[in-house]
Amino acid sequence: MLSHYFNNLQFNKLAVSIGMFLCVVTTVYAEQDKIPLREPITPIPDAIGLDDQKIILGRRLFHDPMLSGDGTVSCASCHNLNNAGVDGLPIAIGVKGKLGIRNAPTVLNSSLSFRQFWDGRVATLEEQVSSPLLNPVEMATNWSDVLKYLGSDKNYASDFKKIYRETPSKKSVENAIAEFERSLLTPNGDFDRYLKGDSSAIDEQAKRGYYYFKSYGCISCHQGMAVGGNLYEKLGIVKPYYDETTMVTEPDLGRYNLTGEDEHKFEFKVPSLRNVARTAPYLHDGSIASLEQVVAIMAEYQLGRELSSEHIDDIVSFLETLNGDVDEK
């Protein structure tokens, strides 16, 4: 990550320089009414070649509250697919109304991230399945009980036998849920259609917003297919987000809790901005209610900039074009 090699001021200058370069390139093409051949954001593919039978089984598992210790909480409880894959709460709620420690990120497009969870503690969607299942304040169960339940259900037992050629196992359950989650992509949103050559897919305000998104340097952390999700970054690059007057809790320390290294304090996986207009509240603690507010905060603490309300509105207009819908089978 660039910030590991540059101090905060140097990193900020580099981010702005990259943003300005990309902005100039885009402007040249825009004047010719063409879309650049290479943009820092790329469209989500329409199809990725998944196993339909595994997706169907994984969907059922994802929505089954009986996988939890008390039969009340499913994966979908915190990742509501009718609500952009989130629960809309600052902090997720698990079994018996217990509070988690961080805001539940969207499950949509989660396969596009290089790591999973805010602190990036696992690399694959298969690996992440155990964490909510076994967490005592989330689903509060164990693999023995999960597999006993699935093996005793004739429909589940039949499906696992047909698809995996075995009785339900930890590996096959993880794979089925992960395969379903991989199917939760949101291609062909307005901005993707714009990237593919439809200049009318977004309006002039959104185009200005994308211009500012790049010129201010937001693009230095939010780029690629997921518009983020591919690196770690500290919350508070050029200006400390937490200071001596702030009550810092363990979840605020981010990757430091995993590595114990001071340089990783307050460092998190950069979230994807896909569908961000639908996934409030924001940040790891769900403390920011509006998209306008979080744009202003990111500009101040990550880029050292104070944005006008007009520029914030334009950037929000661009971010709204990143919305997309899941094409479920």
Which CA distances in Å does 2 have to 71, 120, 213, 220, 234? 45, 18, 19, 9, 11
The structure tokens 């949101």 sit at: 186
DSSP designation for 92: -
Compute the distance between CA of residue 41 and CA of residue 19 in angstroms, rounded to an integer: 12
* Four-CA torsion 171, 177, 182, 185, nearest 10 degrees: -170
Instruction: List pLDDT tens digits, range 260-275.
Output: 999 999 999 999 999 9
Residue 27 is predicted with a pLDDT of: 40
Answer yes or no: do 174 and 217 share one domain: no
In a domain, 327, yes or no: no
Phi, psi angle pair for 233, to nearest 5°:
-155, 150
pLDDT at 7 over 60: no
- 204 and 154 in one domain? no
> Do the domain assignments include residue 297?
yes
46-53: average pLDDT: 90
Contact 301, 135 (CB under 8 A): no
CATH code of residue 115: 1.10.760.10
Percent of the chain with pLDDT over 70: 88
pLDDT band at 222 (very low <50, low <70, confident <90, very high): very high
Say if 56 falls within a structural domain: yes
Examine the pLDDT at 32 and tell me if it is beyond 50: no
Do 206 and 315 lie in one domain? The reply is yes
Q: Does residue 313 belong to any structural domain of this protein?
A: yes
Give a yes or no: residue 158 inside a domain: yes
User: What is the tens place of the pLDDT at every residue in 60-92?
Assistant: 999 999 999 999 999 999 999 999 999 999 999
> Are 242 and 305 contained in the same domain?
yes
pLDDT confidence of residue 329: 53
My answer on whether 58 and 38 are in the same domain is: no
pLDDT given at position 243: 84
**pLDDT mean over 283-292:** 98
- pLDDT for residue 116 is more than 90: yes
Where in the sequence is the domain holding 269, given as residue range(s)? 2-45+187-320
Average confidence score pLDDT of the chain: 90
Considering only CA atoms, give the Rg of the chain.
21
Residues facing residue 254 across a β-bridge: 267
How does residue 245 score in pLDDT terms, banded at 50, 70 and 90? Answer: confident
Last residue of one domain, picked from the residues 141, 161, 182: 182
* 124 and 17 within one domain: no
Residue 328 lies in a domain: no
pTM of the predicted model as reported, rounded to 2 decimal places: 0.88
Q: How many CB atoms lie within 10 A of CB 118?
A: 21
Is 138 labeled as catalytic in the residue annotation?
Answer: yes
User: Are 201 and 176 within one domain?
Assistant: no
The reply to whether 145 and 269 lie within a common domain is no
67 lies in the same domain as 140:
yes
pLDDT reading at 12 higher than 60: no
Q: Which helix (H) or strand (E) holds 268?
A: strand 267-269
With beta carbons less than 8 A apart as the criterion, state whether 86 and 79 touch: yes
Whether residues 95 and 151 share a domain: the answer is yes
pLDDT value of position 138? 98
Report the alpha-carbon distance of residue 299 to residue 301 in Å, rounded: 6
Res 5 pLDDT > 90: no
Give the model's confidence band at 25: pLDDT under 50 very low, under 70 low, under 90 confident, else very high: very low
Give residue 295's pLDDT band: very low, low, confident or very high (50, 70, 90). very high
Per annotation, catalytic residue among 31, 39, 126, 138: 138
- Say what the pLDDT of residue 328 is: 63
Is residue 133 within 8 Å of residue 146, measured between CB atoms? yes
Q: What tens digit of pLDDT does each residue of 134-181 get?
A: 999 999 999 999 999 999 999 999 999 999 999 999 999 999 999 999
55, 68 Cβ separation under 8 angstroms:
no
Least confident of 7-21, 205-219, 265-279: 7-21
Domain-located, residue 264: yes
> Hey, what are 296's tokens?
């202003």
The residue type found at 179 is: E
Is 153 exposed, middle or buried (CB count within 10 Å of its CB: 0-12, 13-18, 19+)? middle
Same domain, 130 and 164: yes
Cα separation values, 107 from 112, 196, 197, 305, 315, Å:
10, 25, 28, 31, 24
Given 163, 182, 201, the domain boundary residue is 182
Task: Report how many domains make up the chain.
Answer: 2
- 171 and 204 fall within a common domain: no
How far apart are alpha carbons 325 and 189 in whole angstroms? 7
